[in-house]
């Protein structure tokens, strides 16, 4: 195993509140607006979408970030530390909190019996998907990791997205070429496909291929992209596959939650909390 110094370097915690004090500060900044403005609007939006209006679980969302432990523990994949060290060596930083990342790769690893591909809807700078590709190489899985993003940030938001605005998460110019160069350095170039553009455009092209997924990571933060990702990826997820929704319990992402609940409404499936804002479902049969 590499030194802890190297492993710490791979985590860039400037994108989230990393300490209890920072979390407290963030809660005080976001809490009043969340409870007094965003939640009442969210409950009205549930009515607009014909969903049961009351949703008790959202009351706890601001407290979830304080939980250091995941809500559900999947064992992390073998060689996880080695994969992190390889990312650090390639100069890649992970912007997701460590407990959420470990829960995510653990969920991916739990699908290893399912012979299908991986899709990430919302890749930003690509670090999470590259980590899964490296883990796949180390474990010799036969999987392609599909990475989808505008790479120019969040597109137009809808009336359901009260906590997000267009242009958040703009990747630096040349991000696709940078991801491809990083994939070369990590020897996973043949394990990834980068799809730049709106999900709707990419899905139109991917529809022509008979793709099936073992693992789906939906991380779009807003209603429209999350809705489109559910519509495309969930029916193509193999039995036993897992879908992780990064934003289901996010304080700023009530639009994404609406899209997921809207999509799952005709079923009895309810996402289970995973770690922090994330939640997951296991696909029992083709939807």
Q: How far is the CB of 57 from ligand SAM (least distance, A)?
A: 21
Q: How far is the CB of 56 from ligand SAM (least distance, A)?
A: 26
Q: How many residues bind ligand SAM (CB under 6 A)?
A: 22
**What residues from 110 to 129 belong to the interface with ligand SAM (CB under 6 A)?**
120, 122-124, 127-128
- Strand spans (E) along the chain: 117-121, 145-149, 192-196, 213-218, 237-245, 272-273, 279-282
Distances (CA, A) of 57 to 61, 242, 248, 270, 271: 7, 22, 11, 11, 11
**What residues from 142 to 181 belong to the interface with ligand SAM (CB under 6 A)?**
149-150, 153-155, 169
Q: What's phi and psi for 281, nearest 5 deg?
A: -135, 155
Q: How far is the CB of 281 from ligand SAM (least distance, A)?
A: 18
**What residues from 255 to 284 belong to the interface with ligand SAM (CB under 6 A)?**
none
Q: How far is the CB of 98 from ligand SAM (least distance, A)?
A: 12
Nearer Cβ to ligand SAM (9/43):
9
List the 117-121 sheet strands across, edge first. 192-196, 145-149, 117-121, 213-218, 237-245, 279-282, 272-273
Q: Measured on CA atoms in the order 201, 206, 208, 212, is the torsion positive or negative?
A: negative
Q: How far is the CB of 14 from ligand SAM (least distance, A)?
A: 13
Cα 8 from chain centroid (whole Å):
21
**What residues from 198 to 257 belong to the interface with ligand SAM (CB under 6 A)?**
198-199, 219-222, 224-225
Q: Measured on CA atoms in the order 258, 264, 270, 276, is the torsion positive or negative?
A: negative
Nearer Cβ to ligand SAM (112/231):
231
Q: How far is the CB of 239 from ligand SAM (least distance, A)?
A: 25
Q: Are 7 and 102 in contact (CB under 8 A)?
A: no
Contact residues for ligand SAM, defined by CB under 6 A: 95-96, 120, 122-124, 127-128, 149-150, 153-155, 169, 198-199, 219-222, 224-225
């Amino acid at each position: 195993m590499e030194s802890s110094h190297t492993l710490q370097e791979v985590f860039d915690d400037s994108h989230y509140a990393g300490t209890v004090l920072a979390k407290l500060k963030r809660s005080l900044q976001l809490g009043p607006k969340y409870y007094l403005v965003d939640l009442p609007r969210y409950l009205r939006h549930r009515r607009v979408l014909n969903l049961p209006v009351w949703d008790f679980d959202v009351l706890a969302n601001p407290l979830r970030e304080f939980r250091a432990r995941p809500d559900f523990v999947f064992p992390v994949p073998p060689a996880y530390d080695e994969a992190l060290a390889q990312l650090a060596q390639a100069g890649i930083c992970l912007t997701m909190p460590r407990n959420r990342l470990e829960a995510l790769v653990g969920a991916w690893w739990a699908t290893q019996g399912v012979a299908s591909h991986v899709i990430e809807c919302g890749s930003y700078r690509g670090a999470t998907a590259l980590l899964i590709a490296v883990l796949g190489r180390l474990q010799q899985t036969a999987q392609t990791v599909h990475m989808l993003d505008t790479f120019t940030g969040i597109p137009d938001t809808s009336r359901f997205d009260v906590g997000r605005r267009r242009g958040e998460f703009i990747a630096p110019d040349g991000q696709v070429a940078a991801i491809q160069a990083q994939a070369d350095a990590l020897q996973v170039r043949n394990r990834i496909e980068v799809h730049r553009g709106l999900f709707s455009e990419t899905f139109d092209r991917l529809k022509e291929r008979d793709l099936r997924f073992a693992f789906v990571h939906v991380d779009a933060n807003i209603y429209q992209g999350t809705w489109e990702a559910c519509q495309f990826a969930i029916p193509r997820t193999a039995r036993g596959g897992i879908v992780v929704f990064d934003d289901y319990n996010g304080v700023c992402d009530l639009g994404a939650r609406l899209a997921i609940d809207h999509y799952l409404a005709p079923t009895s499936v309810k996402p289970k909390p995973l770690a922090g804002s994330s939640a997951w479902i296991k696909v029992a049969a083709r939807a």
